[in-house]
Structure 1
Amino acid sequence: MFTGIIEELGEVSQLIKDKENLHITIKSSITSELKIDQSVAHNGVCLTVVAISGDEYTVTAIKETLEKTNLETLKIGERVNLERAMKLGDRLDGHIVQGHVDQTGICTSVKEENGSWLFSFEYDASKNNLTIEKGSITIDGTSLTVVNSGKNTFSVAIIPYTYQHTRFKNYISSTVVNLEFDVVGKYVTKLYALR
């Protein structure tokens, strides 16, 4: 489990395709604190550390993960949002995040608003995911509050700290992002559909 509070931006240092898998090596200042078999969220995708060398570690994404996320589009030198799994007893500063991306979305606009930014996104509504105003959404692993919600669109407001310390500063219209919808909302939607 995660909280959606990004610890740092890691840098992709190596990408190796192995059959249908992708081995991703990340250079990070938290590498020295990691261990093999530990879970780390990469742009909101929970992946297991499989190797550590110096200030770099490697994780593996399988075919299903690559099909549902933006990880296959990563490039050497690109920055990724990183968060280690939460510790039992720690404060939950964001919201409950599983690290299981539901689908990707597309940034449709970025508007600077006198000290903050409004980012708008669109997603495929046929997958039956939804947002609600003032509800939680995870974008590339970042826990955020929805400010505008439509059938297949939503917006979030970004403060300067989040803008500077996450991938948001690199988003443009057409950027593909990972979306994890609120876990409580997903259960309610599923139960309602079964009625």
Structure 2
Amino acid sequence: MLLSARLCRFILPAGLALLLGACQPASHAPATVTTPMPTAAAPSRVDDFRQLRDALYHQRRAEVKTRFGLPLAMMDGNQLAAFCHGDAKGAAPATFDAAQFDRCYGRLFPPPFIQLLLKVKSDVLFNKGYFDQAPLLVGEGKASLIATLEGDHLTLMYNTQSESKLSETETSMMHHWQFEQGQLRYLGLQLAD
């Protein structure tokens, strides 16, 4: 009992001093609260994808053209120049320039491609890395678009199927894009028949 009375005599004042000390600021100068200045946030990758989609929909070719980094060198597997040249299997120019872009824009981004692109739910694409949708009926055939996102690489695979009484044709165009400093840049095109 004697020990606890001695402890209480020392602990109580020490505890009270700690409690009162914690309630007072360390210095007697008035405390200042600083709030960070708001800064303009860089557009997110989702926003940039939406801006590209909007530019394609509204036919703002000049805005889309800036994403191609023209002239674009044709590396192995890039069939963009050959596609625009008219023969994906034959000899094609070594670069893809602004004149080819202007001449080929409608073939690269046909209306069904843009209609399907508008239906891509960007939040789903960027959260799951994949977006697929029901085909769109086009004339005697159908078109579909599958979007995949792996890291900074976006692939838009556009498939068309034409069916007639005499034949059936299927074509796939894979547009490859890369995020560079938050903005999509066009890498190239692959074709499959």
**Higher normalized strand content (fraction of residues):** 1
Higher relative contact order (CA 8 A, sep 6+): 1
**Higher normalized helix content (fraction of residues):** 2
Structure 1 length-normalised TM:
0.22
Structure 2 length-normalised TM:
0.22
Which structure has the bigger radius of gyration?
2
